[in-house]
C-alpha cells in the first residue's frame, strides 16, 4: 500500500480521459448502509446528484462545503416519456 503523500501526489498529477468535468461544491451527503447520495451545486441554480459507495465518501473525506469535480462518463443517455 502507498503512503498518503505518494497517493496524493499521484492524484494531483493524474490525467483522465473523462472530458465532462464540472466543478462544484458539495451541498449534501446522505449516507446509507452501503451507498451514499452526494449533491453538488454546479452554479446557475443547477445541481448534480451522484450515488457512490459509503467507502468512497469516507476515502475522499467528502463533507458539505467541499470543492469537488464531478466527472461524467456515460456511454448512453436515455430519455423516457
DSSP per residue over 35-76, as a string?
EEEEEEEEETTEEEEEEEEHHHHHHHT--TT-EEEEEE--S-
Partners of 66 in the β-ladder: none
pLDDT at 20 over 80: yes
pLDDT tens-place string over residues 31-66? 999 999 999 999 999 999 999 999 999 999 999 999
Q: What share of the chain in percent tops pLDDT 90?
A: 60
Q: What is the CATH number of domain 4-72?
A: 2.40.50.100
Amino acid at each position: 500500500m502507498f503512503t498518503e503523500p505518494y497517493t496524493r501526489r499521484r492524484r494531483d498529477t493524474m490525467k483522465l480521459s473523462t472530458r465532462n468535468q464540472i466543478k462544484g461544491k458539495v451541498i449534501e451527503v446522505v449516507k446509507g448502509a452501503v451507498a451514499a447520495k452526494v449533491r453538488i451545486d454546479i452554479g446557475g441554480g443547477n445541481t448534480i446528484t451522484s450515488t457512490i459507495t459509503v467507502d468512497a465518501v469516507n476515502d475522499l473525506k467528502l463533507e458539505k462545503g467541499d470543492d469537488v469535480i464531478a466527472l461524467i462518463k456515460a456511454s448512453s443517455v436515455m430519455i423516457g416519456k
